[in-house]
Chain A
Amino acid sequence: MGLPTTVFAYLVKRLISAVVLLFIITAVVFAIFFLLPRLGGASADDLASRYVGKSAGAAQIHETAVRLGFTDPIWVQYGRFAKGLVAGSDYYTGAGYDHCPAPCLGYSFITQNPVLPDLLDRLPVTMSLAAGAAFLWLLGGISTGVVSALKRGSFIDRAAMTTALAGVSLPIFFTGLLSLSIFSYGLGWTAPGGSYTPFQENPLMWAYDLLLPWITLAFLYAAAYARLTRAGMLETMNEDYIRTARAKGLREHDVVVRHGLRAALTPIVTIFGLDLGLLLGGAILTETTFSLPGIGQYAVQAVANNDLPKVLGVTILGALFIVIANLVVDLLYAVVDPRVRTA
């Protein structure tokens, strides 16, 4: 039925709209950070005054405003940024010009470092964090949800759901710092905050260093997934096809897993994809709490310093991940639900 070509056409279509969407997002983000303050009455020099030393005079501030391009009309500024994205751009380092190849997300106003290499450098940390946590929370959340649903109303169910409620409502900087002081500083079982070993350097250390952040982050999500799975299972286990499966004489385990869970997981796939996408854009709280040098920590530093190009870069990267996640989720949906695929 020509599946490959339709899938291909669909992909191309989705990719094009994703790119368009990303450009719209960059424009909106750019406007938020560069245009809004101006509309709010701040002059170009006011903006620039954040990026000079503490003893800078008015003349120096104005020079900085010119250098950072604040004195140009906003569309010229955006045009420059967009051009950098598409064609790259050159940055003055004093000693010469530094070429920032496309897609150039700009240079930090403060450290004058190009943003993209920083982000790429930090991405493995965030990815490692997200991947490990995702694995744990899927495992923990879904199994808890299933058991809760099957033992609905039992002690196990109530205990699990109370824990889940705690997991959803306790902030990560609380659970994170608490678990650090117990397991890392108290018992010495896990690595102290700020530990990270790249996977390719030593996979075991990688896992050891990330274990506590994984568990803490997974706890938060597992809680939500347990509740979702439970609700989904309660619903699907009442479906007619579950009765059919039982009527066939299937083992209860197969009925639950192959028929019940299989159906209950479908909406979870969507949520999971989006959660993961969001997380890849920076697990802000976890990275800050555990001092992990990932995208989220970078975002916090960028916002704290009002370093607009960094903020812009992080936002765009985050948006990119969400757009990709959306695309993947849609494709995945077709994989898990034949009704979508073959309709």
Chain B
Amino acid sequence: MKKTRIMAVAGAMALALGLTACGGSNTSGTGTGSSGGSGGGAAAGGANAAIGKIYNPSDAKGGTLRFGAAGDWDSVDPGDTYYGLSWNFLRNYARTLVVFKAAPGSEGTKLVPDMATSLGKASDNNQTWTYTLRDGLKYEDGTPITSKDVKYGIARSLDKDTFPNGPTYFNDFLKDVPEGYSVYKDKDLANLKSIETPDDKTIVFHLNKPFSSFDYFAQLASTAPVPQAKDTGTKYKEHVISSGPYKFTTYQSGKLLELDRNPNYDPATDPDSGRKALPDKLTVQIGINAADLDNRLMSGDLDVDIAGTGVQAAAQGKILASPDLKKNTDNPTSARSNYTQINTDVAPFDNIDCRKAVLLAYDKTGYQRAYGGSIGADIATSLMPTVVPGHQDMDTYGFKAKPQGDPEAAKAELTKCGKPDGFETTVAYRNERPKEKAVAESLQQSLAKAGIKVTLKGFPSGDYFKLYAGKPDYAKANGLGLLVMSWGADWPDGFGFLSQIVDSRVIRAAGNTNLGIKLPEVDKLIDQALGENDTSKRETIWGQVDKTVMDNAVVLPGVWPKALIYRPDYLTNVFVTDAYNFYDYAAMGTSKK
């Protein structure tokens, strides 16, 4: 009896938390997106005070900035990491050729030279890119950094056998990388001809195809310099030789990382990146219980949740119920889209009017509810998230007017496509993702109102792309007309976000992430963008790609997810950068001593 009583109390507590979570969401308003670009503006405080502006601007140095990580971390080796948190954080100990500017909002998506003196200089129809290093660059031990070190860093990262985690852009785009190339097997760098270092300051990349956005590759972590003599292969991560403002003092795998100031870092060599290097010390504690991490943030025992993915449900309930806590939060949108692909291979979706019917009919708020309501996501009106440069606001099908769906308009479209009584189709989702299942259920309900009968079909996550949704033959044969999907960009750029999901030419026999967009117009626009060297023109083209996708009604845009991030009020110089969609770790400081 006693036991049930205790359980009842616990249950009531949980219920109360849940209720406040729902109630609170009304007050939160819609996410701001965070573009605005008025970078540098100061904020007094309050909710979203670090979005598009700087919370607590300060140049005061000192203190220890304490990060906490709940999940694991692929690697701190710049040549072997693909985690956003890692790319954001490693700017503290590794400098790359170019870098996203440490600045609030969309200003943060701007590439600026870091070790290089300027952004890349293209030649040979964007197939050759040249960078020149600044003077006075040094490692933590005082030895100078040369272009050969940058080449070596990239070269070693090509060995995916030793460094499996990082991205493969250089493997894919560099010209003539020998099969199975490894710096450890072939120690003579001269044999890697696609990267040239004519002198200690210059580095030249030769690509196998034109690529106007190469500066995005030049900001990849693997362009951080690595001294060949000090490379210890897989063990290099235990002590990455610093080129940035901080250097490793403690590295305990899966437990702890501590960094102190690097005395050989000269801010004079770093005029553009916006790095502030305010704290004297950085610590990262790894393996913290996620729920406890939130509590520690709120009690001031920890400063930053390094993952930047937002607080857990329990803390969210607590925060939304308390204005005192809520004013210390930000709710930024991420460069991700949780959408549903319409499979044009499956009848009647070969007919645009039938596709439009689905677009009109589905319940946009239902989709949003599946991802945590207005705190968890904004309703998307197109595929490309607001934070990706080039995003243009559009509302092709009037979502804002009828957020719950418009069955009447949908029926009109159905009549046009010759299915006045509706049709039947199947929606695919990943079993291990309850939110995707909730989406599928919401689609089933709302489409039924327009007479479209939807069958649910879940698949194992691990094989979703390899064997099912991403395998066109299978999807077609099994009539998977609607494919629930989620996609995030490696960096906020039209190419980074769109190319792998809309370019018909990337579609293979299996393992696809483009689940069925085959529009010649889109392909043409992509080629145009890749050849365009003017950034703003290029961004406009990406916006057109997005619009074309919407005009052709090939996706249900779903939502752009958001995170509720807690920001202890004693932190200084805090802002969300659109480069990573959470706080910028190269600029942040603390007033706690």
> Which A residues contact B (CB, under 8 angstroms)?
51-57, 60, 63-64, 67, 92-96, 98, 110-113, 118, 121-122, 162, 165-166, 169-170, 173-174, 177, 180-181, 184-185, 192-194, 288-291, 293, 297-298, 301, 304-305
Complex Cα spacing A121 to B253, Å: 10
Whether the pair B254, A118 counts as a contact (CB closer than 8 A) is: yes
Complex Cα spacing A304 to B236, Å: 24
Given contacts A53-B166, A118-B254, A290-B289, contact A185 B235 (CB under 8 A): no
Q: Does B60 contact A (CB under 8 A)?
A: no
The 10 closest A-B pairs by CB, nearest first: A94-B233, A95-B233, A93-B233, A193-B292, A185-B299, A94-B162, A112-B234, A192-B301, A291-B288, A162-B2
Given contacts A60-B164, A185-B301, contact A169 B254 (CB under 8 A): no
Whether the pair A93, B232 counts as a contact (CB closer than 8 A) is: yes
Whether the pair A93, B234 counts as a contact (CB closer than 8 A) is: yes
Which residues of B lie under 8 Å from residue A95 when comparing CB positions? 184, 231-233, 235-236
B467 to chain A, nearest CB (A): 11
Whether the pair A304, B164 counts as a contact (CB closer than 8 A) is: no
Which residues of B lie under 8 Å from residue A60 when comparing CB positions? 160-161, 164
Whether the pair A288, B235 counts as a contact (CB closer than 8 A) is: no
Whether the pair B292, A180 counts as a contact (CB closer than 8 A) is: yes
Whether the pair B165, A53 counts as a contact (CB closer than 8 A) is: yes
Please give 16 more A-B residue pairs, beta carbons under 8 A apart, in addition to A170-B6, A173-B291, A185-B296. Answer: A54-B82, A92-B233, A93-B232, A95-B232, A95-B233, A110-B74, A121-B252, A122-B255, A174-B10, A192-B295, A192-B299, A194-B292, A194-B302, A290-B289, A293-B255, A301-B254
Which residues of B lie under 8 Å from residue A192 when comparing CB positions? 292, 295-296, 299, 301-302
Tell me which of B82, B164, B166 has the highest count of chain A C-beta atoms within 10 A of its own C-beta: B164
Complex Cα spacing A291 to B293, Å: 9
Whether the pair B168, A194 counts as a contact (CB closer than 8 A) is: no
Whether the pair A56, B164 counts as a contact (CB closer than 8 A) is: yes
Which of B234, B254, B289 sits near A288, CB closer than 8 Å? Answer: B289
Which residues of A lie under 8 Å from residue B159 when comparing CB positions? 94
By beta carbon, the residue of chain A nearest B234 is A112
B310 to chain A, nearest CB (A): 18
Tell me which of B10, B82, B292, B293 has the highest count of chain A C-beta atoms within 10 A of its own C-beta: B292
A111 to chain B, nearest CB (A): 6
Q: Does B167 contact A (CB under 8 A)?
A: yes
Which residues of A lie under 8 Å from residue B165 when comparing CB positions? 53
Q: Does B382 contact A (CB under 8 A)?
A: no
A32 to chain B, nearest CB (A): 19
Which residues of B lie under 8 Å from residue A110 when comparing CB positions? 74
Complex Cα spacing A55 to B302, Å: 34
Q: Does B279 contact A (CB under 8 A)?
A: no
Which residues of A lie under 8 Å from residue B291 when comparing CB positions? 173, 177
Which residues of B lie under 8 Å from residue A98 when comparing CB positions? 235
Which residues of A lie under 8 Å from residue B525 when comparing CB positions? none
A222 to chain B, nearest CB (A): 17
A interface footprint on B268-298 (CB within 8 Å = 1, 0 otherwise):
0000000000000000010111011101101
By beta carbon, the residue of chain A nearest B255 is A293
Whether the pair A181, B295 counts as a contact (CB closer than 8 A) is: yes
Complex Cα spacing A338 to B33, Å: 76
A19 to chain B, nearest CB (A): 29
Given contacts A193-B292, A301-B254, contact A94 B298 (CB under 8 A): no
Q: Does B72 contact A (CB under 8 A)?
A: yes
Complex Cα spacing A55 to B81, Å: 12
Given contacts A56-B160, A165-B2, A304-B72, contact A193 B289 (CB under 8 A): yes
Whether the pair B296, A194 counts as a contact (CB closer than 8 A) is: yes
Whether the pair B288, A193 counts as a contact (CB closer than 8 A) is: yes
Q: Does B68 contact A (CB under 8 A)?
A: yes
A325 to chain B, nearest CB (A): 26
Which residues of B lie under 8 Å from residue A177 when comparing CB positions? 289, 291-292, 295
> Which B residues contact A (CB, under 8 angstroms)?
2-3, 6, 10, 68, 71-72, 74-75, 82, 156, 159-168, 180, 182-184, 231-237, 252-256, 285, 287-289, 291-293, 295-296, 298-299, 301-302
Which of A51, A118, A289, A305 sits near B292, CB closer than 8 Å? Answer: A289
Which residues of B lie under 8 Å from residue A162 when comparing CB positions? 2
Tell me which of B10, B165, B182 has the highest count of chain A C-beta atoms within 10 A of its own C-beta: B165
Whether the pair B254, A56 counts as a contact (CB closer than 8 A) is: no
By beta carbon, the residue of chain B nearest A192 is B301
Complex Cα spacing A63 to B236, Å: 22
Whether the pair A293, B295 counts as a contact (CB closer than 8 A) is: no
Which of B3, B163, B184, B292 sits near A290, CB closer than 8 Å? Answer: B292
By beta carbon, the residue of chain B nearest A293 is B255
Which residues of B lie under 8 Å from residue A291 when comparing CB positions? 285, 287-289, 292-293
By beta carbon, the residue of chain B nearest A181 is B295
By beta carbon, the residue of chain B nearest A55 is B168
By beta carbon, the residue of chain B nearest A170 is B6
B309 to chain A, nearest CB (A): 15
Given contacts A94-B182, A95-B233, A185-B301, contact A53 B167 (CB under 8 A): yes
A-B contact pairs, 28 of them (CB 8 A): A52-B164, A53-B166, A53-B167, A56-B168, A60-B160, A60-B164, A63-B160, A63-B161, A92-B162, A93-B162, A93-B233, A94-B162, A94-B163, A96-B232, A96-B233, A98-B235, A111-B254, A165-B2, A166-B2, A185-B298, A192-B301, A193-B288, A194-B68, A290-B289, A291-B285, A291-B289, A304-B71, A304-B72
Tell me which of A63, A193, A290, A304 has the highest count of chain B C-beta atoms within 10 A of its own C-beta: A193
By beta carbon, the residue of chain B nearest A185 is B299
By beta carbon, the residue of chain A nearest B511 is A58
Complex Cα spacing A235 to B232, Å: 65
Which residues of A lie under 8 Å from residue B10 when comparing CB positions? 174
Which of A54, A92, A174, A298 sits near B254, CB closer than 8 Å? Answer: A298
By beta carbon, the residue of chain B nearest A161 is B2
Whether the pair B3, A165 counts as a contact (CB closer than 8 A) is: yes
A34 to chain B, nearest CB (A): 18
By beta carbon, the residue of chain B nearest A193 is B292
B192 to chain A, nearest CB (A): 16
By beta carbon, the residue of chain B nearest A48 is B164
Which residues of A lie under 8 Å from residue B233 when comparing CB positions? 92-96
Whether the pair A193, B295 counts as a contact (CB closer than 8 A) is: yes
By beta carbon, the residue of chain A nearest B232 is A95
B186 to chain A, nearest CB (A): 12
Which residues of A lie under 8 Å from residue B232 when comparing CB positions? 93, 95-96
B409 to chain A, nearest CB (A): 39
Whether the pair A297, B161 counts as a contact (CB closer than 8 A) is: no
Which residues of B lie under 8 Å from residue A112 when comparing CB positions? 234-235
Complex Cα spacing A96 to B184, Å: 8
B339 to chain A, nearest CB (A): 19
By beta carbon, the residue of chain A nearest B183 is A94
Which residues of B lie under 8 Å from residue A194 when comparing CB positions? 68, 285, 288-289, 292, 296, 302
Complex Cα spacing A94 to B10, Å: 53
B76 to chain A, nearest CB (A): 10
Which of A64, A170, A184, A289 sits near B164, CB closer than 8 Å? Answer: A64
Given contacts A96-B233, A166-B2, A293-B255, contact A180 B295 (CB under 8 A): yes
Complex Cα spacing A149 to B285, Å: 46
Which residues of A lie under 8 Å from residue B256 when comparing CB positions? 293
Which residues of B lie under 8 Å from residue A93 when comparing CB positions? 162, 232-235
A70 to chain B, nearest CB (A): 14
Which residues of B lie under 8 Å from residue A54 when comparing CB positions? 82
Complex Cα spacing A118 to B286, Å: 14
A35 to chain B, nearest CB (A): 19
By beta carbon, the residue of chain A nearest B6 is A166
Complex Cα spacing A181 to B165, Å: 37
Which of B72, B82, B234, B295 sits near A53, CB closer than 8 Å? Answer: B82
Which residues of B lie under 8 Å from residue A92 when comparing CB positions? 162, 233
